[in-house]
């Protein structure tokens, strides 16, 4: 029985493995394919990270290559993860597919195509969104069309000759649309909600600014609404140039509104393109304003940069409401519609009705809520650690160790509680540096959670002042 089973050997799973190893916790990492599988198999040939190499960080490792301002390809990310697994000694079992996870009286049963395992805890590191999302109206398209999701797209030459309809204008959709246009394809782009960001501003990459301003360190607790985590991805591409619809139109891409219907060989679009273009531009304006305010507040030396002129493109207002796929010679539809979550293989009350995981900073409380405690408690390890700190640092003091400890837990201590440890010397032997103690731990609401007694030995007798 492993103490912990980590499912997935991507960056999250390997980072968790490294942290568990540092704490001496026995664990195993299960990977359905090869380490970094999706980076190798589900990215197109020209794919690169949106963030510069210098920002590639894992616990105990930072980028140390010759191109800190470059952008890794998918294969390079996969290679990096394999190297990291070797460096950290991650106990990865490749080629093991997890088919189900369910609670048992002994912990968690993890069912795989290579047998069942049991663990005290399970870490799901399969990715935030790991299933291609394709809308239902894909089934209404003519059967002669080739349809491919971005996870299966590789390059323009791998597609049949003819025009291409790309559905979705996030970073993947816009990058692929630009690549296809450069390859000489006639490209039609069905635009959805998206956000623009400048690639560089005031002498630095956008990710440099987000790193400095703490944007990338924000937690869900800092958001005004929990749903703010479900905003569209910002559109960027590797390099130094901005990527937006204006650049795509200049390259020959034909934009439309959101795809809303299919009728025979024709597809229909809504009239929301002007609003989506304006909203995307507004995000870039807000970002530049935040940078300007931060520079002014900190006094950082950064060259001023004039704001780009406002743009109200006629092509957005004049976008057609329909496209005849056959008349325009469209042979392929590329679905750049993102990914979705699928936790149907987890047979425990850890997702809500919408399929979203119910958790707090990555820790699910649903199984614990069914216990008599009504949620997660951190009784033993946390409370005794507080008492250990008091004994070792203050009373009796440095050099002290417990010879015995008898505790009674009278109230739960939960994540987020503020607790105070109290130690009182009730007796001290004259012949040896041994003391008897009365100990307690109290929550910030005044409830005593732990009481007990202890006997301590102090290697170098400490001076106790009244």
SS3 107: strand
Rounded to whole angstroms, the Cα distance separating 444 from 421 reads: 11
Whether residue 361 is contained in a domain is answered as no
Of the three residues 98, 127, 156, the one that is the final residue of a domain is: 127
Q: What is the CATH number of the domain that holds 229?
A: 3.50.50.60
| Residue 187 and residue 61 share a domain | no
Rounded to whole angstroms, the Cα distance separating 50 from 42 reads: 16
pLDDT, mean of each 10-residue run, the chain (466 residues): 85 94 94 92 93 94 93 95 96 96 86 92 84 94 96 97 97 96 98 95 95 82 60 83 95 97 96 95 94 93 90 92 97 95 85 72 60 56 74 76 80 81 90 90 90 84 44
| Residue 105 and residue 158 share a domain | no
Whether residue 357 is contained in a domain is answered as no
| Residue 419 and residue 328 share a domain | no
DSSP per residue, 402-441: EEEEEEEE-S---TT--EEEEEEEEEE-SSSSEEEEEEEE
Distance between first and last Cα of the chain: 50
Of the three residues 283, 312, 339, the one that is the final residue of a domain is: 339
| Residue 190 and residue 214 share a domain | yes
Whether residue 288 is contained in a domain is answered as yes
How would you class 312 by CB atoms within 10 Å of its CB: exposed for 0-12, middle for 13-18, buried for 19 or more? Answer: exposed
Whether residue 321 is contained in a domain is answered as yes
DSSP per residue, 31-89: ESSSTTHHHHHSS-TT-B-SS-GGG-EETTEE--SS-TTS--BHHHHHHHHHHHHHHHT
| Residue 202 and residue 236 share a domain | yes
Whether residue 362 is contained in a domain is answered as no
DSSP per residue, 113-169: BTEEEEEEEEEE-S-SS-EE---GGGGGS-TTSEEEETTT---GGGSPSSEEEEE--
- pLDDT, residue 228, reads 53
Rounded to whole angstroms, the Cα distance separating 215 from 202 reads: 17
How would you class 283 by CB atoms within 10 Å of its CB: exposed for 0-12, middle for 13-18, buried for 19 or more? Answer: middle
Q: What is the CATH number of the domain that holds 420?
A: 3.10.129.10
Predicted model pTM = 0.76
| Residue 91 and residue 175 share a domain | no
- pLDDT, residue 366, reads 57
Whether residue 368 is contained in a domain is answered as no
Rounded to whole angstroms, the Cα distance separating 3 from 27 reads: 6
Of the three residues 93, 127, 161, the one that is the final residue of a domain is: 127
| Residue 137 and residue 114 share a domain | no
| Residue 182 and residue 48 share a domain | no
| Residue 271 and residue 235 share a domain | yes
| Residue 151 and residue 98 share a domain | no
| Residue 90 and residue 123 share a domain | yes
Count of domains for the chain = 3
Rounded to whole angstroms, the Cα distance separating 339 from 33 reads: 19
Whether residue 466 is contained in a domain is answered as no
Nearest Cα to Cα of residue 302 among 313, 314, 291, 317: 291
| Residue 329 and residue 231 share a domain | yes
Residue 103 domain boundaries = 2-127
Residue 304: half-sphere exposure toward Cβ, Cα within 13 Å = 4
Query: Is the omega angle on the peptide bond into residue 299 within 30 degrees of 0, that is, cis?
Result: no
- pLDDT, residue 229, reads 55
């Amino acid at each position: 029985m492993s103490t912990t089973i980590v499912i997935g050997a991507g960056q999250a799973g390997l980072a968790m493995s490294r942290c568990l190893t540092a704490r001496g916790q026995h664990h195993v990492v299960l990977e359905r394919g090869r380490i970094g599988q999706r980076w190798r198999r589900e990215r197109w040939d020209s794919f690169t990270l949106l963030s510069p190499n210098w920002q590639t960080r894992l616990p105990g490792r930072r980028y140390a290559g010759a191109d800190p301002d470059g952008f890794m390809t998918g294969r390079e990310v996969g290679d990096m993860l394999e190297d990291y697994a070797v460096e950290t000694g991650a106990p990865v079992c490749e080629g093991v597919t997890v088919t189900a996870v369910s609670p048992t009286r002994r912990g968690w049963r993890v069912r795989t195509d290579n047998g069942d395992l049991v663990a005290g805890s399970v870490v799901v590191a399969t990715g935030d969104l790991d299933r291609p999302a394709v809308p239902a109206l894909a089934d209404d398209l003519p059967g002669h069309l080739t349809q491919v999701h971005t996870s299966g797209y590789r390059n323009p030459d791998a597609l049949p000759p003819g025009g291409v309809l790309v559905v979705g204008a996030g970073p993947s959709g816009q990058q692929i649309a630009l690549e296809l246009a450069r390859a000489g394809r006639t490209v039609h782009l069905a635009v959805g909600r998206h956000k623009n960001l400048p690639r560089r501003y005031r002498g630095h990459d956008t990710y440099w600014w987000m790193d400095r301003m703490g944007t990338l360190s924000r937690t869900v607790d800092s958001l005004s609404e929990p749903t703010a985590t479900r905003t569209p991805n910002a559109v960027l591409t590797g390099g130094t140039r901005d990527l937006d619809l204006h650049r795509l139109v200049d390259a020959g891409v034909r934009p439309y509104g959101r795809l809303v219907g299919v009728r025979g060989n024709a597809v229909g679009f809504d009239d929301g393109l002007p609003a989506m273009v304006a909203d995307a531009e507004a995000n870039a304006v807000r970002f530049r304003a935040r940078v300007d305010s931060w520079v002014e507040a900190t006094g950082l030396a950064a060259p001023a940069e004039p704001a780009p002129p406002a743009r109200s493109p006629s092509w957005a207002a004049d976008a057609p409401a329909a496209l005849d796929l056959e008349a325009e010679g469209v042979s392929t539809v590329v679905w750049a519609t993102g990914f979705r979550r699928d936790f149907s293989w987890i047979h425990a009350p850890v997702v809500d009705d919408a399929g979203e995981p119910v958790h707090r900073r990555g820790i699910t409380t649903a199984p614990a809520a069914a216990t008599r405690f009504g949620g997660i408690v951190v009784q033993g390890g946390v409370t005794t650690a507080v008492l250990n700190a008091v004994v070792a640092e203050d009373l009796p003091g440095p050099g002290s160790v417990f010879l015995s400890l008898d505790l009674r837990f009278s109230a739960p201590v939960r994540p987020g509680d503020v607790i105070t440890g109290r130690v009182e010397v009730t007796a001290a032997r004259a012949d040896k540096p041994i003391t008897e103690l009365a100990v307690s731990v109290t929550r910030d609401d005044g409830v005593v959670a732990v009481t007990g007694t202890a006997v301590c030995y102090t290697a170098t007798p400490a001076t106790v002042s009244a």
